[in-house]
Structure 1
Amino acid sequence: MGTHVIKMPDIGEGIAQVELVEWFVKVGDTVTEDQVVADVMTDKATVEIPSPVSGKVLALGGQPGEVMAVGSELIRIEVEGAGNHQEGTSKVAEPTPAPSVVEPVEASLPREEASKPTPPVLSAHQPSPIVPRAAGERPLASPAIRKRALDAGIELRFIHGSGPAGRILHEDLDAFLTTPTQGTQGASAGYSKRTDSEQIPVIGLRRKIAQRMQDAKRRVAHFSYVEEIDVTALEELRVHLNKKWGDSRGKLTLLPFLVRAMVVALREFPQINATYDDEAQVITRHGAVHVGIATQGDNGLMVPVLRNAEAGSLWNNAGEIVRLANAARSNKASREELSGSTITLTSLGALGGIVSTPVVNTPEVAIVGVNRMVERPMVVNGQIVIRKMMNLSSSFDHRVVDGMDAALFIQAIRGLLEQPASLFVE
């Protein structure tokens, strides 16, 4: 038997170090060739590290949240044959116990783990068998099941999972809820006094989000501008287009219309489609409109980029927005798809509220935020009528964008959306 050492690979783009986000194996596990053993994160994306060999895990070279240099030893695996490592040349540190982490309900669906649940335990208050996982152990369950459990006041660690690798299925949760003693306990748990707490390390994507938001608020001279828009005619056009071509070309949301309005308005305000290098004191105005689409995934906020939006039709841009959003939410977006934006569009959809103050996605100088659409009584030509209204809450870097230009830019978008035919008049 020999030892094979996997080193932190050179991911490219001149990156010298990366953050270890998550292990998918532990010491003693058997891995197969091409099995993903860890996730690491660069400044732009999460990267999966596969094993090039099959064997038994001997040691792990770091803990989640640790920043590791490219070329450092990541994992040791015992393999058939000589392996690629001679004992005594270097040493991979044995792992230390990781801190207990209780994942939030929105945590992403974990990969299959081969760990076996501990034997069931009986207590005076729980006459039926349960699976008492450790307080910090994350049960395998989908976000939908986690949401159901939260609403019912149930801790998933007490539910036996009948799925692969102990994954909790909907039928497992149903069985738990319908068991008299357990169902009653779960239903009343929402009113029980709690004294527990949790500590969640800020690592991986959450750390990157925190760093970028802090940096943006520290360096950018933010100001926001809010304007309401009558989107009644726009909605009529969208519904009409979906009815006529939705089945053959795909359904249209409001986002591709907003992208089109931004593209047209930026022709008149090129200083807003720009990036600012504040260290070099250089503003770069971009001809191409690369729109960052702020996307909320299970792991946090990501901004995939709709490239050359100025060259795409409504349906082309709509399809690309959906593809990028799905890639980001499934953690499959490439580094190229998550970088290079020149302006960002953010929307909370139905949860968009009345007003928001979005944070500029540096080094960009503008972000356009969309609030929810509501029906309100409005005065039109002296008559009170019901109109569909929507606010745009947008933020700008006041170091680069003057207040008047920002207001005129949003007013231009407003005019285009309220007269949607003008979006397509050249």
Structure 2
Amino acid sequence: MGRYLFRLPDVGEGIAEAEIVAWHVSVGDVVAEDQNLVDVMTDKATVEVMSPVSGKVTATHGEVGGMAPVGSVLIELDIEGAGNADEKTVAAAPAIGTGLATVGDVEPSSARTLTTTAPASAAKSETPKPVEFAKTTERPKAAAVWTMRAAGQEPLASPATRRRAHELGIPLQYVPGTGPGGRITAEDLDAFIASGGIALAGDARYVAREGIADVKIIGLRRKIAEKMQEAKRRIPHINYVEECDVTELEALRADVNSHRSPDQPKLTLLPFFMRALVRALPDFPQVNARYDDDAGLLHTYEGVHIGVATQTPGGLMVPVIRNAEQYDLWGLAAELARVAAAARDGSATRDELSGSTITLTSLGTLGGIVSTPVINHPEVAILAPNKIVERPVLNGPFVSVRKMMNLSSSFDHRIIDGYDAAQFVQRMKRLIEHPALIFMD
């Protein structure tokens, strides 16, 4: 048997470190070659790290949320053969940070050391055994008397149990827990309901809730938080909102959808907005740009690379439709569906999640009346169509019901003056209100 040290490889993106977002093995597991060991997150993409060998896991290094430098030891394995390391090799390996700090965040004298699930060398004291909790098989009888926990004693329960209790109006302070450490399980909640405990003194919906849940911000959510903070810190936003009559655009969209062929995707408003951007941006090159404020350079682009803010199970991502000018409506709809699906299922590449020159963000029917979107740094503009509402509109001496929508926007005021922002949005308004102009040369 030999000892094999598996180090975080260079995933090919020129990174120096990556964040550990999920472990798929633990000490004692037997792994096969090419088995997924751990997921790490780079700048935007989550990467599955596979095992190059078969063996038994003897130690893992680093916690979820910690930063692992490229070349640092992630996993130690016992394998058939000579292996590739000894004790000195482990000691010389770069340390992996824990929590939300990176290796560069702390001084050398206070830097965190490797966190392992198994000892790296023999120790005199015995490894403490995990605490074993007795399983309670008896459930409270129907006549049980329920008492609230003492002040400051928080009920322990999983998010799913808490959500169900909240939906039922049951304060968890009254529910006894039989799980490890007194944790309230789903079975405990069922037993509480079956025994009549739900009929507490007073209405349970109005009982004060004292629980506090601590959620560690890691992975994609951490990246989103950092990017939003950077954008608001570095970019002085100017917001502009204009009202648009989209009655003609909606009628055109409905008619085109009703006559589409089976192999054509259903059109939403976004492809029309993309075509409008393609028509408008050549006259406003400072809007279709990325600002390098460190170098003091504004990069303007001939091609229109549109980022589309997309909600995914992990959080907000911005897949990119590159060179939108090369697509017709159907092509834009198909490309939008493709990159959005890739973002949602986690298969989007780094190129598909970067390089946008302007961003569209829309919440559809949840779009509200107005919004103040955050610019996707280092871009200088973002557009946010709001929801469509029908309301009476005065047109000369007549009143008619029209479909109206607010178009919200944000601009980098260092680059774009208010007058230029207003001119650009007015050009978009004209194209949106008279959609035939979108297709005219």
Encode CA deviations 1:366-407: one digit per residue, 9 max, x unaligned.
Answer: 000111111111112422211111111100001001111111
Letter in 2 for 1:415: R
Change (3 A) 1:29 1:11: same
The aligned residue for residue 363 of structure 1 is 378
1:272 to 287, 309, 316: 287
SS in 2 for 1:347: coil
The answer to whether residue 222 in structure 2 is matched with residue 201 in structure 1 is no
CA distance in 1, matches of 2:197, 2:273: 47
Q: Please say if 1:223 is aligned against 2:238.
A: yes
Give the aligned partner of residue 47 of structure 2: 47
**Cα distance in 1 for residues equivalent to 2:41 and 2:63:** 13
Amino acid at match of 2:364: G
SS of alignment partner, residue 389 of structure 1: strand
- Give the Å deviation of 1:225: 0.3
Q: Deviations over 1:196-248 (max 9, x none)?
A: 21111222211211111111111111010001111111111111111100533
Give me the TM-score of the superposition, normalised by structure 2.
0.78
| Residue 116 of structure 2: aligned partner | 95
Whole-angstrom CA distance in 1 between matches of 2:390 and 2:190: 42
**Which residue of 2 is the match for residue 353 of structure 1?**
368
Change (3 A) 1:377 1:125: farther
- Using the alignment, how far apart are the partners of 1:297 and 1:182 within structure 2? 41
What displacement does 1:13 show? 3.2
Using the TM superposition, name which of 372-381 and 50-59 deviates more: 50-59
Hey, what does 1:256 align to over in structure 2? 271
Contact 1:34 1:50 in 2 (8 A): yes
Equivalent residues in 2 for 1:298-337, closer than 5 Å = 298-337=313-352
Report the 3-state secondary structure (helix = DSSP H, G, I; strand = E; otherwise coil) of the residue aligned with 1:334: coil
CA shift for structure 1 position 68: 1.6
Q: CA distance change for structure 1 residues 222 and 47 in 2, over 3 Å: closer, same or farther?
A: same
Give, as a single letter, the amino acid of the residue that structure 1 aligns with 2:14: G
Q: Residue 124 of structure 2 corresponds to which residue in structure 1?
A: none
Q: Secondary structure at the match of 1:213?
A: helix
Measured after TM superposition, the shift of residue 419 of structure 1 is 0.8
Q: 1:289 aligns with which of 304, 327, 332?
A: 304
Contact 2:140 2:195 in 1 (8 A): no
Specify which of 244, 247, 254 is matched with residue 239 of structure 1: 254
Query: Cα 1:280–1:402, aligned 2, differ >3 Å: closer, same or farther?
Result: same
Gap change, CA 1:79 and 1:225, over 3 Å in 2 = same
**Aligned equivalents of 1:275 and 1:62: distance in 2?**
36
- The CA distance in 2 between the partners of 1:125 and 1:229, in whole Å, is 64
Gaps in structure 1 of 5+ consecutive residues: 98-117, 128-133, 140-144, 161-171
Amino acid at match of 1:376: R
Please state if 1:34 is matched with 2:31: no
Q: Give the % identical residues.
A: 52
1:58 positional shift: 1.3
Q: Name stretches of at least 5 consecutive residues in structure 2 with no aligned partner.
A: 94-113, 119-133, 144-154, 180-185
Change (3 A) 1:248 1:190: farther
Larger displacement relative to structure 2 (196-205 or 231-240): 196-205
Q: Deviations over 1:152-182 (max 9, x none)?
A: 5689xx9x9xxxxxxxxxxx99x979x8559
CA change 1:193–1:120 in 2 (3 A) is farther
Q: Which residue of 1 aligns with 2:433?
A: 418
Q: Say if 1:246 and 1:252, in contact at 8 Å, map to a contact too.
A: no
**1:64 corresponds to 2:85:** no
Q: Which range moves more in the overlay, 287-296 or 26-35?
A: 26-35
Pair 120,243 (structure 1): closer, same or farther in 2 beyond 3 Å: farther
Q: Distance in 1 between matches of 2:397 and 2:162?
A: 51
Q: How many residues get paired?
A: 383
What is the match of residue 10 of structure 1?
A: 10
219, 222, 225: which is aligned to 1:210?
A: 225
Q: Quick one: which of 336, 341, 351 aligns to 2:356?
A: 341
Give the secondary-structure state (helix, strand or coil) at the position aligned to 1:49: strand
SS of the equivalent of 2:336 reads helix
Match of 2:414 among 377, 399, 402: 399
Sort the Cα spacing of 1:44 and 1:315 in 2 relative to 1 into closer, same or farther, 3 A: same
Aligned residues of 1:176 and 1:183 also touching (Cα < 8 A): no
Which runs of structure 2 are paired with 1:87-236 in the superposition (5 Å)?
Answer: 87-91=87-91, 93-95=114-116, 121-124=137-140, 135=156, 151-152=167-168, 180=194, 192-236=207-251
State the shift of 1:32 in Å.
2.8
